[in-house]
Amino acid sequence: MRFLLRRLGFFVLTLWAALTINFAIPHLLPGSPVTAMMARYHGRLNGAALQAVESALGIDTHQSLFGQYLSYLKNCATFNFGTSVANFPTPVTTIVGTAIPWTLGLVGVTTVLAFLIGTAIGSIAAWKRGGKLDSVLPPLFVVGTGLPYFWVAIMLIMVFGEVNPWLPTAFGSDNTVTTGWNSDFIGSVLQHAILPAAAILVTSIGTWVLTMRNTMVTTLAEDYVRMARAKGLPGRRIMVDYAARNSILPNLTGFAMSLGFVVSGAVLVEYVFSYPGVGYQLVQAVDNEDFPVMQCLFLVITVAVLLSVLLADIITALLDPRTRSAR
């Protein structure tokens, strides 16, 4: 219980610091949402219209900085993030809420698959270290890990979209298909997600393979693994219950943190494929100086990462009781 309370206290403190930084950054940057809106309309806004824009964007220049900070915290607690500048008068929550499912469906599922496949391959390579599988796969995945996301995405577009036009290379679905839970739309979404998912898998699976392989090689030299061999236990049980179970903790922590970064999306991959996820929306918000959308996205990404770290600490404590020690 004390361990959990310490972690929760750390989570609350870090969340407060993230909220404060998220509030301070737009105030330190040159320009503002109002000036961006003025530039969009080429200054053709009178005083009354300008005041209406400030009110719609949740900006009160008559308040002190501390008063604006308190209002900001209240708005965050009530999920009131104002109105988008680039898509005025669409609420920010509508834009972000529309993008999150696309990112979770693409990057989330791909991250889980990369972790499961990479951990399994790394375990087998470590168990059969020195063999043909261990000699071929780790170097191959090292090369894949070193490739940039956007370069792999561009190569896939050239091969499967230009040279051999087999798969769609842009957007999340076909515009001619009716959006909804129907077979045509689901099939179109899956078809459009093949190339972005392949780009993420190629460049991320190697990390899990190498981490699991190197950790498990060290674990196989432990005394309890030797004792299990001496007792005559089956090799599969030793590999799974003794070696892999104790080697997966570093991978599990990294996986939990990766799930937090899933919300931010693979920015470059989503931008190359014009995929309507969080990463693509973030790039659009930066290009359009859409401060309210940027603030909301930064906050969502931060909270997701903090929750993932908290979840990783709890899971690690359950699997390894030594981490719950006060010392």
- pLDDT value at residue 162: 78
- pLDDT value at residue 319: 67
Instruction: Give 49-58 pLDDT, tens digit per residue.
Output: 556 555 555 5
- pLDDT value at residue 46: 59
Residue of 174 and 29 predicted with greater confidence:
174
What does the pLDDT average to over 169-178? 76
Residue 260: band (very low, low, confident or very high) from pLDDT cuts 50, 70, 90: low
Residue 139 burial (C-beta neighbours within 10 Å; 0-12, 13-18, 19+) = exposed
pLDDT for residue 275 is more than 80: yes
Residue of 33 and 192 predicted with greater confidence:
192
Q: Which two tokens stand for residue 260?
A: 């937090």
Give the closest residue to 196 by CA, choosing from 279, 138, 117: 279
DSSP string, 88-126: TTSBHHHHHHHHHHHHIIIIIHHHHHHHHHHHHHHHHHH
- pLDDT value at residue 155: 85
User: What type of residue sits at position 85?
Assistant: V
Residue 261: band (very low, low, confident or very high) from pLDDT cuts 50, 70, 90: low
Residue 288 burial (C-beta neighbours within 10 Å; 0-12, 13-18, 19+) = middle
pLDDT for residue 99 is more than 70: yes
pLDDT for residue 115 is more than 80: yes
Highest mean pLDDT among 14-18, 138-142, 176-180, 323-327: 14-18
Contact 294, 279 (CB under 8 A): no
Residue 322: band (very low, low, confident or very high) from pLDDT cuts 50, 70, 90: low
- pLDDT value at residue 39: 64
Cβ neighbours, 10 Å, residue 133: 14
Contact partners, residue 250, CB within 8 Å, separation at least 6: 211, 215
- pLDDT value at residue 241: 79
Domains in the chain with CATH codes: 33-80 (no CATH), 96-324 (1.10.3720.10)
Contact 46, 72 (CB under 8 A): no
